[in-house]
Structures are given as structure tokens and as C-alpha cells.
Amino acid sequence: MIIRKAKSTDAQDLKVLYFEYLTQYPPTAEQDMELWAKLLEQFEHNNHIYLLVAEEDDKVVSSVHMTIIDNLTHNVRPYAVIENVVTHMDYRRKGYASALLEKATEIAREHRCYKIFLETGSNKESTLHFYKSNGFEIDKKHSCLKRL
């Protein structure tokens, strides 16, 4: 397993992951893959955006998207937000997502983050148990969403 930041050449593999396995928000339009590649190139060189991928068999099989957000509170320490934790069905329960979450945690510590906030759209007990087993807790804060 190779863990690294996503590159522009990963666009197609990521499209497969997102379209087939992030089913809560299915795409409603054809995707501009040139735009995907351009964004991935920007992410690759940004030290506050981490689209981490696990590569196996020369393809991306799992990903975690984390953003570091600068902050004026908590002694001017940033915090991190993780979304889009997804693993290809054929590679689940093999440690890919856990390894990515561990890498994200390591990066957050390097940035002196005081917390990592993980967003999930799933209420499945198995998914919540997975996050708990990776050190995340279901807290009493509420996430409020406004669709634009």
C-alpha cells in the first residue's frame, strides 16, 4: 500500500470511488475531468488541503479529504476537517481507510491542530463504529447544513 497526496492523474480513479461509493450525494451532471485534474494539481501543492489516497495494484482504492483551517482561538491553533472517507468495495476491511485516517492525524499534529472534525453522512452503526475504532468520538456538537 502506498499512501500519498492525490495527483492530477488520479482523477479517473477518484471519480470511480466518488460516483460508485459515495452514494448519499449522487452526481447529477457529467463531470469535467479536466477541471478535476486541475483541482487535484492545486491540492497537491497546497499545504492546507490534503486529498490523501491509498494506492494498490496501480490504482487509487481509498481516499480521505482533509482541510486545515487557520483559527484565532485555541492559542491561534488551526483545526482540521475530514470528509469523503471512501474505499473501493473490493478493498474494504483491509486497513486502507484506517491508514489514511492515521496519516491525516499525523499531518494535523504537524500543523498543531487542536482537533480534527470528521463529517459523515452515514448513520450506519458499522460506519460509526469504524470511526470510533480509529479514535474519533461522536460528540454533542451538531453540524448544521445549508445547501446552496
Q: Is 6 left (phi over 0), alpha (psi -120 to 50) or beta?
A: beta
Per-residue confidence at 120, pLDDT binned at 50, 70, 90? confident
Over residues 81-90, the pLDDT tens digits come to 999 999 999 9
**Sign of the torsion angle spanned by Cα atoms 35, 36, 37, 43:** positive
CA distance 119 to 46: 21
Which domains, from first to last, does the chain contain? 2-133 (3.40.630.30)
Provide the pLDDT for residue 23: 62
Q: Is 133 left (phi over 0), alpha (psi -120 to 50) or beta?
A: alpha
Average pLDDT, integer, range 73-99: 95
Q: Which amino acid is at 67?
A: T
